[in-house]
A = this chain, B = another copy of it.
Amino acid sequence: MPIAIDAMGGDFAPRVPILGAIKAVNENGLHVILVGDEKKIQQELSSCKFNHKKVDIVHAEQIVEMDESIVQALKNKKQSSMRIAYNLHKQKDVSGVVSAGHSGAMLAIGKFVLKTIHGIDRPCISALLPSIKGKVLLLDSGANMDCSPYHLLQFAILGDVYTQHILSVPNPKIGLLNIGTESGKGNELAKQTYSLLKKSTSLNFQGNIEGKEFFLGNFDVVLTDGFPGNIFLKSVQGAANFVSDILKEEIKKSWLAKIGALFMIPAIKNLKKKIDYSEYGGAPLLGLRGVGVVCHGNSNPAAIQFGLNFANWAAKANIVPRVEEKISSNQELLDSLKCE
């Protein structure tokens, strides 16, 4: 079954989503449906070479803008490329939806059209990040504010199933983002969530993890409320930019350093590749009754291609019944919180 790509989403739409989709068609054999302004899409496609059987277009009149309120997007953009892509998914014409557009709207429209998996109250946005050892899934990375331990237990279940069945990590190690590693550390949410997760017999909860240890890769899934989760994500970005800006400035000051930097170009390229957004910028939406993947607004075609492949793996992984099964094995714990 094809994957739908929101051709109008992202900072460089429709060009980059289309180029990314064509890469996924040509290099990975995917079948895609480009959803958006048909005329503009045709125009972009005219300069591309691809198997025409593997690319379809579905026209959409409207676009969800990046700064649009989610309520407005839900109410007034029923003909948007994002909404129509989800409708195709609902009708089983595609097996997943990918967009580099408004991530909050992607989640909200996805929730509205597809609904959530039975037992999941709040679907969430995760972020797949690099580490010394491999990949780490952070969730929630910014969609859900003021979560309760009840929600974090649901995130743990989602993270566990996705990591196991899409990223093929057996028995994923789950950690709780906190200000210290000892039990009893953190705010009320962290303390209560820690005690709760310790009680689960079907989740491999390993305890607290501090931000400074995130990239060591000792955990496969890191849980957090969306507020600190998003602060984490953006701080890391800010710190990396800061170090690189200062280093560039220092290199500019000395011709010796300039020569040194020239020698180091391949090493720096490898570094960039290892922490590249194109492989790690994809943010699967977890908890929907279907497959939604958000790419960063300033994604390049490779990032879109990765998002499409990711959606394709997710569609094949048969996630919904697996999550439902895990929910029922934690039902007693979840019910104990509902009663409070």
Contacts and interface: CB of A to CB of B under 8 A. Distances in A.
A11 B260 CA distance: 36
A179 B231 contact: yes
Contacts of A253: 267, 270
A18 B257 CA distance: 37
A12 to B, nearest CB: 20
A339 interface: no
Nearest to A191: B145
B177 A231 contact: yes
22 contacts: A67-B182, A145-B186, A146-B187, A177-B231, A179-B226, A211-B234, A211-B235, A212-B235, A215-B242, A228-B228, A232-B232, A236-B236, A236-B238, A239-B240, A243-B244, A243-B271, A246-B275, A247-B267, A256-B266, A257-B263, A260-B260, A264-B264
Contacts of A267: 247, 250-251, 253-254, 257, 260
Nearest to A210: B234
B232 A231 contact: yes
Interface residues of A, number: 61
Contacts of A246: 132, 271, 274-275
A263 B262 CA distance: 10
A224 B231 CA distance: 11
B212 A237 contact: yes
A241 B212 contact: yes
B250 A257 contact: no
Contacts of A186: 145, 227
| Chain A contact residues, majority secondary structure | helix
Nearest to A232: B235
A188 B226 CA distance: 12
Contact of A271 (B210, B250, B270, B274): B250
Contact of A239 (B228, B239, B261): B239
A230 interface: yes
Contacts of A210: 234, 238
Contacts of A182: 67
Most B CB contacts (10 A, CB to CB) among A132, A212, A237 go to A212
A230 B235 CA distance: 11
Contacts of A124: none
